[in-house]
Structure 1
């Protein structure tokens, strides 16, 4: 099973505090080495598409401007030097795509939510085609609400007084997210009351106190050690004078764009070529940055996917992964086990092929497989994709 990179190794790189004006002018510092990540210096070509980009997420009293917050996924296929996609016309024939269709798109390959899409024979053929060519995939998977909430914990453990909690911040974030989702409307009310993510310094203690009281009011039936650590941390943190990553922001604007995630991929793989589907909003966002590898400009281009079959297949890969990771977030552990045990023959083969594509990608670089989500979601991914025995705490939730 691959060791998948996650947000805990990139937390500083992706933090709001790190996206400064200096970085907007000069970005090659983004390519610095991160412990535990390998293969990012290799030459390769990354083709991209995206799904579930809600552009901006804003807080509106006890609700959000976006009705759905499915996982944002940015990714596609990876070609190493000397590799080729193969004859795309031959692939189109095997998929029975009519000549009138200008390009291969996910909607021509599979329909419906994840489990229905997983049963598509055409989807199986596409993934098998990539595997036969030994072509890997890459993705950045973001649980949007987790991304918003995690700054609460990061701001607390960034204070020297709470440095002893730093090694446990993954578990603390996981528990806060789990409890917040138990009553999201009222958690949003607390955030809105305190102008999140621009919490006034003089109201810091009150905000933390309300979050602590919310945790107590939504205490899970089967708490674990991390749950109790979260409660104790919040109790002590009411003494803080500020939350470092939740000041000097725009009130109510939880996410102002997804440019930092594009920057993550581009600058971590600074020796790679990056070929993205034409998208005016993304192009405008990235145009604000000077992206350099030493003295050389990074190799980035935007293309019309009609002319680039590699981007077309990236659309298929991302369409599947967007459905998959949202399915993982929204499905209980016991249901995942049941569904996996009852896969059809096609579903089973397709899932196995996806796992093989992830494995060959991991051999190139585990940085190609990047999650910003909860520990519970990573565990659930292991259960469904790899058949790993679940952690007891997941079965009790």
Structure 2
């Protein structure tokens, strides 16, 4: 039986739209050196069999950390955004150690902003199909592309989109679903036609993608049911992160899970009536579990990777890759090898709930030769 070790990155406890910021509650912390991540990562390392032969003490020795540390954290080996982290020789030591060991990385990465609004598309598609309204949605792939288009609308002018969402108390829109969808259609139309966004609209395929989204929304101008998107509190997109822990423990129901002791998460599991903590799940103090400490290191790097991908467009990433130092190139190649090693062992170890555009940009960074051959 495999044993999965977990740590987390960017557990904000709760996510809501803050009208005063024209953004989210997690935005704008002046005490942070880099912007807070809008992605949540739950992941770490896994070994197959009763135990691992990986020598964590050898890893820690290679990192040359101060001797009085009670436990190693990602902040001890790198800091800043993903590009800055790749400059660290300690990151190279970590990735080489993982590659040489019998360990594999695993992660569940969620783009929280994408996740918070994707149900709008599902509700619209289901309503059209249920009411016999023809829309050009014939496959899961079509739905994925519509969700990606919606996410691009959000990203092109986040403040305007969130102003609109706040005006309706999204996601508490039960009695105003049709009005909300009409307003969203108007927002898409504005993005497509406004000179303010003409530069972004030059992106290959974007106009067609937004046109398909606009057609779907216009087909739903009388929609009276948005069950998936609807929630009961104005502005609150996510009232707790335990849903992601639930998903993980359910998906790995036949495997042993060791999670870093997060008191609030443990309390959420224990407080659910008739739903005890799964028997295969154990919360542990990371000081007593060296592989949970290693999971902090891998998850910290992976979280910064996904945030970096989301924060930059294709051209920005292409330009960035042309400026990589030797150390950055080495570490980027090692990260790709670590991902490949894990994917070859079990493709379900690497799980991403992100937009189609982010998947493309991930390929651009890690597999540029494959990306350019497909584009």
**TM-score under structure 1 length normalisation:** 0.82
Q: Which blocks of at least 5 consecutive residues in structure 2 are unaligned? A: 28-35, 193-199
What is the 5 A alignment of 1:193-232? Answer: 193-201=167-175, 203-219=176-192, 221-222=201-202, 223-232=206-215
How many residue pairs match? The answer is 347
Corresponding residue number in structure 1 for 2:219: 236
Match in the other structure for 1:72: 40
Q: Secondary structure at the match of 2:371?
A: coil
Checking the alignment, whether the CA contact within 8 Å between 1:77 and 1:314 is kept in structure 2 is: yes
**Pair 1:54-2:28 in alignment:** no
- Offset of 1:85 from its aligned partner? 4.8
For 1:193 and 1:355, the matched residues in 2 are separated by 43
Matching residue of 1:8: none
Q: C-alpha distance in 2, partners of 1:297/1:142? A: 22
Q: 2:164 aligns with which of 163, 183, 190?
A: 190
Q: Which residue of structure 2 lines up, in the alignment, with residue 134 of structure 1?
A: 102
Whole-angstrom distance in 2 between the partners of 1:114 and 1:247? 35
Q: Residues 123 and 248 (structure 1 numbering): CA distance in 2 closer, same or farther, change over 3 Å?
A: closer
> Partner residue of 2:287?
306
Q: Structure 1 residue 148: deviation in Å? A: 0.8
- The residue that corresponds to 2:268 in the other structure is 285
Return the offset for 1:60.
3.0
Match of 2:78 among 110, 114, 120: 110
**2:143 alignment counterpart:** 169
Q: Deviations over 1:278-321 (max 9, x none)?
A: 111111122245668xxx95311111111111011100001101
Give 2:356's aligned residue.
Answer: 375
The residue that corresponds to 1:93 in the other structure is 61
* Corresponding position of 1:333: 314
Q: Pick closer, same or farther for the CA change 1:166–1:391 going to 2, 3 Å.
A: farther
- In 2, Cα distance between the equivalents of 1:166 and 1:281? 42
Distance 1:140 1:359, change over 3 A: same
Conserved 8 A contact 2:54-2:102: no
Which deviates the most, 346-355 or 226-235? 346-355
Q: CA deviation at 1:391?
A: 9.2
1:29 maps to which residue?
Answer: none
The change in CA–CA distance for 1:63 and 1:117 in structure 2 (over 3 A counts) is: closer
Task: State the match for 2:243 in structure 1.
Answer: 260
Residue 323 of structure 1 corresponds to 304
Alpha-carbon contact 1:271-1:298 (below 8 Å) kept: no
- 331, 341, 350: which one pairs with 2:331? 350
Deviation at 1:134, TM superposition (A): 3.2
C-alpha deviation, 1:82, in angstroms: 4.5
Q: Which residue of 1 aligns with 2:33?
A: none
Deviation at 1:335, TM superposition (A): 2.1
Conserved? CA contact 1:267–1:291, under 8 Å? no
Structure-2 separation of matches of 1:246 and 1:297 = 28
The answer to whether the 8 A contact 1:85-1:310 is kept is no
CA distance in 2, matches of 1:391, 1:363: 22
Partner of 1:144: 112
Q: Decide whether the 8 Å contact of 1:209 with 1:235 is kept in 2.
A: yes
> Would the alpha carbon gap of residues 81 and 338 (structure 1) be closer, same or farther in structure 2, given more than 3 Å must change?
same
* TM-score w.r.t. length of structure 2: 0.87
Moved more, 68-77 or 206-215: 68-77
Relative distance call for 1:349 and 1:69 in structure 2 (3 A) is closer
Distance in 2 between the 1:221 and 1:133 partners?
46
CA distance in 2, matches of 1:334, 1:124: 27
State the match for 2:152 in structure 1.
178
